Structure 1
Amino acid sequence: MLSDATTNCFIRDGICARHPPCCMLQIFSLKLAKLYVDGSSVELYGYVAARDGLDPLLNYIVNVSRDDPIVVEQGSLINMTGPKRGIDLCDSILIEYDMRIKTGEQEKDDLQLIDGVSAINGVPLWDRCTFTNRIHGDYGAVDLTASFLQQAFEASVEVVVSEVHSSFNLCLVCFIRGLNEELRLFDGAIGEARSLKRSVVAVMEDSWMDLKFKVGSESSISAEHWCSFKADNHGHATQEINTGFGLISVKVIWSTLNL
């Protein structure tokens, strides 16, 4: 949204004054904190999503079908597939969830992990306040860790592995300067040229977003590669990283939720 400056913009000293930063919620992680079933890991499916004042439709953070559940151990992170756009926190928002543990052939045999709605109100929160809310359920609990950012822009991160010389493992982690939490964007194996899932990150005005690419294989020591991008309300920036295993292209598109 508004990644390209338009005739609606008002440029002052090279900066658009008509599309300022806004209050945003940045979700860093969802963790399977507790399990009240036998075994150390389970097959999970279901969803966690946000509803804000910009759009009443669900903005999915996690969305997993029963036909393709994810295996998660107690104490481990639940892989986040979203959000698809920034989460506006100028007013109260709702976090809606329905996650289940697959136990049998039919859905009626499955166990309810968490189910319900939680409200988050940005008014009483401090800027750059990081908090963890525990969502309790019948057969376990999930920890949601997030930050309230009073003046933030939306960064859409697009990563393409354009060349692969040999298969390698890639872990991509995002850091927002001024906050202590890390955001895992990808963790898996790369065997051929491909695009990773698009990620959306909230970054404070006048701050930077740092991306750490940790690459390696079973026969080599992992190496770290970094690239950084400064927050803006319009435009985009690109960088390329040659890892030795292949070539990675990074594009960050900046936008604002303010119309």
Structure 2
Amino acid sequence: MASVGGGGGSCTRTIDGRFGGGTRGTESAGDGTRGTKRAGDDGTRWTQSAGDDGDSSDQMGAGEPLAPWGGRDRNFINEIELLDDSKHRDGSIYTGSSFLHKLFRLNYTEETYLEPMMLSMPTDCWPDPVDCYEHLFCHMMQIYSLKLAYTSADADTSGNPILLYGFMAVRDCLNPRRNYVFRRTRDDPFVVVQDSNGSSFIRMSGPKRGIEMQSLVLVEFDMRIKIGENEEDDLQLIDGAIYFDSLVLPPDMIINRRIVGDCGAVDMSLAFLHCAAEATIQVGISNVPDGGLSLFLQAHANDIKNGIWLFDNVVSEPCELNRFVVAACRGSKLLLIVKSRPVNGTASLPISKFFIRDVRRHGSDSMTFNVHTAKIDVKVNWSTLDLPSSALREDNHYPFALDD
């Protein structure tokens, strides 16, 4: 997918003075206690506000349309600074000459060619795949949720749902190519609605594979609000890039950062995980009841209460869902919650099933759930990101990426 360029209506609110990596503002501890952070001080621990932990709703089905407003949520989250000269709208992200522009090859717009499950069934384990010392766990990033925090008054759609399109992608030092976590075209925008808790989550479509975080990770985005018939009438929600440094992030806990743009803001909930593996979740559904099956899937891992939303929709015919990639720490367990009910049934509450497995380096685990008349097959493939050099192109690592 080519980057979304051109167009973009203007908004009355502008953001300037952005530069890389730091955070600023205040954050509430949920009990009325407030504090401040120095720029770049990501090591400070904060207690999150109740209801803002990044969980998606357990309710199945869409809520009411989001009503845009021009105010700001002053009780929750710190803003993160944008990189200088990193806009898609003016093309500066492709021509920048800073260290990070070169490190992550921001002038390259290709999707990462690395696939998930690359070491699920290796042949060179020592002494064996179960007790393997050849392939190591590595530090990883897990993005738990994206949420539309607010929009400017210019984005008022008169009570209609907000339509988002564009992309958000992660670039790591394993392969400095786009690993998309959100990707929608203007012809197929994401419809933002509020769930039963009043939150406006942006459903992620990725990542394609696990996100390595041995050092730096860069997040690139160009997300817009569809307004009218023509692209030039659309509004720029957020545009640019940010980065995270593993040396200053608190390990194995949720952090929340706000990306502020011209016409609103997006909240990102993520975690920096020590010694993790890639879990690729595959779900197949057969024997779908007449009228369809309302299905909700959520993953929990790393002894963190926040859930990772995987799926929440109606399945009308037998199918295989898109693959879901989750990072899970060594020594923890992966919990998959499956809730379902027939659309035309009389059941008022969904039937819940649980899939629990220990995190490991290689191999796979599977389980079959029978709910109502449907059959749900779940398979988890485990893999480390300790890939051999033969699996990588020469431009993957930073000594090559720094070359012009």
Shorter-normalised TM range: over 0.9
- Structure 2, gaps ≥5 residues long: 1-117, 388-404
- Structure 1, gaps ≥5 residues long: none
For residue 177 of structure 1, report the CA deviation from its aligned partner.
4.3
> Which whole-Å CA distance do the structure 2 matches of 1:233 and 1:14 have between them?
8
SS across alignment from 1:257: coil
Letter in 2 for 1:186: F
Letter in 1 for 2:275: Q
Deviations 1:202-250 (Å, cap 9, x if unpaired)?
A: 0000111111111123632211111112111111111000011400000
Range 188-197 or range 211-220, more displaced: 211-220
* Corresponding residue number in structure 1 for 2:156: 38
> Which whole-Å CA distance do the structure 2 matches of 1:199 and 1:131 have between them?
22
Letter in 2 for 1:175: H
Q: 2:354 aligns with which of 226, 249, 252?
A: 226
> Which whole-Å CA distance do the structure 2 matches of 1:129 and 1:228 have between them?
21
User: Per the alignment, do residues 32 and 13 of structure 1 end up closer, same or farther by CA in structure 2, a change over 3 Å counting?
Assistant: closer
CA contact (8 A) 2:141 2:270 kept: yes
1:130-209 to 2 correspondences below 5 Å: 130-166=254-290, 167-209=292-334
For residue 14 of structure 1, report the CA deviation from its aligned partner.
4.2
Matching of residue 5 in structure 1 with residue 112 in structure 2: no
For residue 129 of structure 1, report the CA deviation from its aligned partner.
2.2
For residue 73 of structure 1, report the CA deviation from its aligned partner.
3.2
Give aligned pairs, total.
258
> Which whole-Å CA distance do the structure 2 matches of 1:164 and 1:38 have between them?
40
**Greater Cα radius of gyration, structure 1 or 2:** 2
Deviations 1:57-80 (Å, cap 9, x if unpaired)?
A: 100000000011111036311010
> Which whole-Å CA distance do the structure 1 matches of 2:286 and 2:121 have between them?
25
CA contact (8 A) 2:129 2:362 kept: no
For residue 13 of structure 1, report the CA deviation from its aligned partner.
9.5
> Which whole-Å CA distance do the structure 1 matches of 2:213 and 2:373 have between them?
41
Q: Give the structure-2-normalised TM-score.
A: 0.62
> Which whole-Å CA distance do the structure 2 matches of 1:13 and 1:199 have between them?
23
> Which whole-Å CA distance do the structure 1 matches of 2:337 and 2:128 have between them?
34
Letter in 2 for 1:5: P
CA contact (8 A) 1:172 1:187 kept: yes
Q: 1:55 aligns with which of 167, 175, 197?
A: 175
Range 213-222 or range 103-112, more displaced: 213-222
User: Per the alignment, do residues 13 and 201 of structure 1 end up closer, same or farther by CA in structure 2, a change over 3 Å counting?
Assistant: closer
CA contact (8 A) 1:94 1:118 kept: yes
Q: Give the structure-1-normalised TM-score.
A: 0.96
SS across alignment from 1:108: helix
Deviations 1:93-145 (Å, cap 9, x if unpaired)?
A: 10000000001111111000000100011112232021011000111110000
Q: Runs in 1 of length 4+ with deviation above 6 angstroms?
A: none
CA contact (8 A) 1:175 1:182 kept: yes
* Corresponding residue number in structure 2 for 1:104: 228
1:70-109 to 2 correspondences below 5 Å: 70-73=190-193, 75-109=199-233
For residue 171 of structure 1, report the CA deviation from its aligned partner.
0.7
> Which whole-Å CA distance do the structure 1 matches of 2:337 and 2:373 have between them?
16
- Residue identity over aligned pairs, in percent, reads 40
For residue 179 of structure 1, report the CA deviation from its aligned partner.
0.7
> Which whole-Å CA distance do the structure 2 matches of 1:113 and 1:185 have between them?
24
* Corresponding residue number in structure 1 for 2:252: 128
Matching of residue 238 in structure 1 with residue 366 in structure 2: yes
CA contact (8 A) 1:32 1:73 kept: no
> Which whole-Å CA distance do the structure 2 matches of 1:131 and 1:22 have between them?
19
User: Per the alignment, do residues 13 and 196 of structure 1 end up closer, same or farther by CA in structure 2, a change over 3 Å counting?
Assistant: closer
